[in-house]
Every structure is written in C-alpha cells, then in structure tokens.
Chains A and B, each alone.
Chain A
C-alpha cells in the first residue's frame, strides 16, 4: 500500500521557501564567480593599458589599449584569395608595432625576442626594418632548438625586472605553456607576445588575438609602385574588452613608414590615406 506523505500535497509556498533558503547560496556562488572573474580582470594589480595608436581599435580594447601584464597573440592569416600566406612579413610588422608600443612603458628596458630557426630556409627578423618601431639595440635575441626552451626562456624573461616586453616566435600551440606565460606576465606586469607564422587553433588563454594578412597597397595614380604597407587585421579574441557589433571586428590598416603611424583606411575610400591627407590639407 502506497504511503502518501502529507508533504506531497503541501502548497507550493514551501517550495518557494526552499528557494528562499537557497537564495543566499546562489548569491554567494554568484559573488564567488564574480570574484574569480575579477581575479583575472583588468582591475587587478592595477595593470596599465598602452594605446595602439588607432582610436577605432583602442575603443574596443579594455582601458583603451593593450593590457600590459598579459599575453597577446599575433598570427599570420590567409591572403584575401584564401591562399595560405607564404610568409608572415605583415604579421611580423604588426607584432613589431605592438612590441614598440608596449616597449614605451619602459623606454630603456630590454626587449626579449625568442625564436626557433626553421632550418636552412630560415628568415630571421631584420633589424634595419624593425628600427621603424623601436631601437633594435634594445633587443636581446634568443635562439632555441626546442619549443620547451622557447617557453622557458620567455618565462624567465617575464620574471626579469628590467624587461620591457617579451616576444616569442613559435608554431607550437601549447595550452599549458600559454597559461603559464599568461600567469607570469600577470604577476610581473611585463607584456608577452606570441607571433605565429600560421593560424593556430582557437583555444588559448591570451588576452587579445590578432590575425594579420597583408593587403594590396595603393599605388600613386598612374604608376605601379608600392604604396604604404597595408594589413587586414582581425581581432579574433578580445578578453575584458568592449563587445563589438561584428563578430570579429576587421580593419584595413595602413602603416605609414614616413610618419611612423598606423591608421585605418576607410572602406569607402579607395585612395591612399597619404593622398587624402594631402588633399584635405590642400
């Protein structure tokens, strides 16, 4: 014979009461989650942000710029035609720009550049070009044979007090190593950059991830010379940042190697920004 408990027919008020009893728990959990989130948020340790120099992009980034004491990734993207880019010259240029901007926090600090040579066809970064973004005399170049050594060297660099920024060139996508780098950067406040010559799997712990592909430049009308370097840049990950309307915000940027500034090319405008500026001035 089934035993029917009186509680079965109790009014829903009791359930409401149970919910009320659970409410503080949920409240506490929510608070805990918030605290955990804040533990990795920009407020902690008073991290600074360095503006990128492009107002449109800076508006989306937390605190109006790239966070120091965080890991940022730059990867080379496919060409507009969908073909895999044959080199990462553009990504290197953008990474050098970031490194130069992040290096302004400690103007005399060392920039650590770790890389793993890729055999006989290796193309190391070329300092006369890098001089546009920062003084190559500040660079400490480290060559490694294994990826473990690369991450180790970067971590050691992040712990060094005189370091302005640390950059690592690698193809390896190691989640644990990325996490360690991110924590080390957070602890010391030194920014870390990872430069990948090929697109990496999406999961990662970095604060921002940029995909850079070179774009066709704009010649002087009537000539077929090379204009200022143009890059198509996607912001694929923007932690703590302002959500954008587009899923992955994309810009066409132009690097002016005479004025050393980066600017967004308006999509409607087809000519060179230099020509436009001249026209506006005139």
Chain B
C-alpha cells in the first residue's frame, strides 16, 4: 500500500520516514543490553539479511523488517528459579525491564531457535509463548506457514496448494516436497522441530570465564565502581585458578540504568591471574568509564585466556628465584606502559641472523627478551657498526678523487662534510635465498646486488656510515650510476 492510499483511508495518519540505520543501532543496543542474561546473543540473521537487501518488510512483520534477537539461555534460567518457573520468571523479567525503556516486545521461549521465532511472531495466546520442553511439534502445528522463515515465493505456492499451517506439512512425504521446493522448507522445518541443529552465532565471542555483579541500587561513584571491580576480579581469579589458566585480556562492561553499555578492556603480556596486579592495570582504565546515570550491573569477562601453571611463591629473602621467573616487576611495568602507549610501543630488541644491517634488529613482545648472548654473537660476527641506524638510508651527494675510492666529500641535509679518514669497503650482498618483498625470488644465476659500506670521519671528528649502492659504473650520460647513501652514525 502506498502512502497516498493509506492517507486516503485514514486522513489523520501519523507518518514518519523509515530509518533502517537507526533501527539497526537500536537493535544492536538492545542486544548489548541482553548480554545481562546470557553471553549468547545474536541479532536475528534473517531480519538482518532482509534489511540489507532493502526489502520493505519481512513476511513476519516487525519494524523495518529487522527486528528480533535470539538468546541462547541454556543454563541461565535456573538463576531465576527452578525448572519451568525459572524460565517463566526470566521471560517476565525480560519483558518487564524492556517495558521500562518504553519498548514493547513479544518474547517466546522454545527448545529451538526456529520454534521460538515462530511463536514470538504468530502465537495467538499469551500462554503459548512459553513452549514446554519437547513440545515444539504440537505448539507449531497450529501456526501459519509464515513461521518457517521461508522466502515469499515458496510461501505463496504453499498458500495456493492449501498448505496454510505448519501442521499441514507434517504428514506430507518429504521426497516430493524436496523435489518441488528444494531442501529449504525441510531444513527450516527440521530446525524448528529440533531434528536439525541450528547454532546461534553470538555477536561477540562468548567468554569462557565471566563474573557478574548486580546492584540493588544503581551506583555511580568511581570508588564504588572500583570496589565492585575488585570484587568481580577476585571471583574471576578464583575461576581462572580452578581452571589452571591465566587471562591475557580482561573486559569489563558497565550496564547503565538507561540501557546503554560501556566497556573497557585491559591486556597483559603473559597469562596472569594475580588479583592485585590486574587491579592495578584496571585502575588506569576505570577513569575512562562513564557511569552515566548509574550502573545497575557489571560483568567482568576474560575473552582471552592461556594455560598458566602459576608461579610458585618465593620464600622470603630468596630474590634469586623471583628474578629468575621474571617476577621482578618488569613485566608489570611493560603492561602498564603498553596500556597507555600501545603494545607496539613497548618492545624488546631481538637479534636476527642476517647480513643486511637493517634486518638484524627486530622487535618482539616485552615478555620475551632475546636469549642471553644472542646479541653478543651478532655483534662479534660483524665489523664496526654505528650506534644509530637511520630507518631508511638517506641519499647523499658524494665527491671522490678516484672513482673507486672512498669519497673525499659528501653533502647531507645541506651540510658539506669533508672526509679526513675513511675505512672500507665492507661488502654486504643481498640475501639471494630470501624472497623479495613482492614475493618473487631473485634469479640464481646473476650476481646479487650489493652495497659497499665505508666508515668515514669528517674534519669535525663526526663519524658516519656510508654505502655505495652497487659497483662503480658510468651511466649513459657519463655520470656515476651508483648512488651513495648515509645509513648510520658511529660513536
């Protein structure tokens, strides 16, 4: 129906333009909020797909064609009461809390996502919304076939054939049905009835370890949030200890009274379940959190964990044990620095076996320093090296008396340096066995490109590390083809 037709029928019709993006944001925020019940929350994939295609409305109705959240509450309902009473209480709680935010919703619970989907949209009586265990076959029988999450053409054909209710499909032979409509209707039917598994894909990976703390009264003071974090952390650390793992990443979420969620995370450079240390890291981050009008629920989760056997407590006065385990506080310091400066800015220097000077020094994580003596070996193998190495060699203009000689003058950044002493060349050839950066391999039968390095000293005593890129040859215009570069500064 067009807007003009609708206006003709109801003259004082209220209209508002559709805003799929805003709808999307709303459903995302409700999904975030639903994390309070279970970590397994998914935005209904069917609704999402339809919204992306720009379909006007899903056959199931709903606003913007993009309504619906799937929650896997397996093992969560008992928190609200025993057995079916708990499930009922969970549903009531969900509806009640959502209605506080002026949201009208229909919530159904069933053994399968498909059955719950159909019930939430097409159940006629309120009592049908909670489908008892293994009762989905009976519950679905009376519902229209639209409840099967099928495309519109199939549904139209079903209606033409007189298949109006899902129950009408039960007695039909499966093979002819599949031949005529493809396997889609049967798959959907099996999924709804539970003979075919349909996993829910959660929006964010469900953490294996999490703790929650709900407050009777919303809290807002930073001290209260810090105290609550410390309690959550203590509980989580116990969980981690029982499982024999340590957290690499911890995420804390504040569920505010207005339904929004604020999150922050900390990372550690090695598995950790040391309560005071983690709390210290959190203290840096808690300032960034905004409690808004108040926080009613906090959830602390460990999305990334690693096996961690734990460190044995050192005996008093046995400093040697503490340092041998790296317990001297350096790792904690690195974590704290990385939290503010970024993990890529707090690094260890690692030695790499390479002839190319710029490839020798690489960086690694703060928790894993180079092996003792690795650098000594690298330094002993090579000639004199500069104390500073330019990240990219800078071209210099060079004057030499004899073509193949070390230069007698070079000009770098507008300054001329007259060379008094020079030492070299040290020839460094390209590593032909290593693939080039573009992935290709250099041909084996040619002489690999090389550099001739010279250590030079200018009349001021400044020492530089220069190289000529390739052999001395003359280009077509009579000028030297090989260029000179400055690569480092010596002590």
Could you tell me if A160 and B460 are in contact, using CB atoms closer than 8 angstroms?
no
Query: Residue B105 at the A interface, CB < 8 A?
Result: no
Assuming the contacts A160-B333, A224-B422, asked whether A89 and B489 have C-beta atoms less than 8 A apart, the reply is yes
Could you tell me if B388 and A89 are in contact, using CB atoms closer than 8 angstroms?
yes
Query: Residue A213 at the B interface, CB < 8 A?
Result: yes
Most chain B beta-carbon neighbours within 10 Å: one of A127, A132, A163: A127
B349: which of A79, A86, A127, A230 is its contact (CB, 8 Å)?
Answer: A127
Query: Residue A217 at the B interface, CB < 8 A?
Result: yes
Cβ contacts under 8 Å, B347 to chain A? 140-141, 143
Taken together as a complex, chains A and B put the C-alpha atoms of A225 and B463 apart, in Å, by: 12
Could you tell me if A215 and B461 are in contact, using CB atoms closer than 8 angstroms?
yes
Query: Residue B488 at the A interface, CB < 8 A?
Result: yes
Query: Residue A255 at the B interface, CB < 8 A?
Result: yes
Assuming the contacts A127-B349, A257-B384, asked whether A137 and B372 have C-beta atoms less than 8 A apart, the reply is yes
Cβ contacts under 8 Å, A93 to chain B? 387, 491
Cβ contacts under 8 Å, B461 to chain A? 79-80, 90, 213-217, 230, 232
Could you tell me if A89 and B375 are in contact, using CB atoms closer than 8 angstroms?
no
User: Interface residues of B, CB < 8 Å — how many?
Assistant: 64
Could you tell me if B361 and A157 are in contact, using CB atoms closer than 8 angstroms?
no
Query: Residue B101 at the A interface, CB < 8 A?
Result: no
Assuming the contacts A79-B462, A86-B415, A162-B323, asked whether A153 and B386 have C-beta atoms less than 8 A apart, the reply is no
* B-facing residues in A140-179 (Cβ within 8 Å): 140-145, 149, 152-153, 156-157, 160-163
Could you tell me if B491 and A89 are in contact, using CB atoms closer than 8 angstroms?
yes
Per-residue contact bits, chain A 111-143, to B (CB 8 Å; 1 contact, 0 not) = 010000000111111111111100111111111
Could you tell me if B345 and A127 are in contact, using CB atoms closer than 8 angstroms?
no
Binds A, one of B11-19, B140-148, B363-371: B363-371
Cβ contacts under 8 Å, B369 to chain A? 137-138
Taken together as a complex, chains A and B put the C-alpha atoms of A40 and B420 apart, in Å, by: 47
* A-facing residues in B348-395 (Cβ within 8 Å): 348-349, 351, 357, 360-361, 363, 366, 369-376, 378-379, 382, 384-392, 394
Could you tell me if A89 and B385 are in contact, using CB atoms closer than 8 angstroms?
no
Binds A, one of B24-32, B180-188, B235-243, B334-342: B334-342
Taken together as a complex, chains A and B put the C-alpha atoms of A167 and B90 apart, in Å, by: 58
Could you tell me if A142 and B337 are in contact, using CB atoms closer than 8 angstroms?
yes
Assuming the contacts A96-B387, A142-B341, asked whether A123 and B489 have C-beta atoms less than 8 A apart, the reply is yes
Query: Residue A53 at the B interface, CB < 8 A?
Result: no
Could you tell me if A89 and B349 are in contact, using CB atoms closer than 8 angstroms?
no
Could you tell me if B323 and A141 are in contact, using CB atoms closer than 8 angstroms?
no
Query: Residue B412 at the A interface, CB < 8 A?
Result: yes
* Chain A: minimal CB distance from B243 (Å): 29
Assuming the contacts A87-B388, A142-B345, A214-B462, asked whether A129 and B491 have C-beta atoms less than 8 A apart, the reply is yes
Task: Name 8 A/B residue pairs within 8 A (Cβ), A-sorted.
Answer: A90-B461, A128-B361, A137-B372, A139-B348, A140-B333, A143-B341, A149-B341, A225-B421
Q: Which 5 A-B pairs have the closest CB atoms?
A: A162-B328, A93-B491, A89-B489, A79-B460, A131-B379
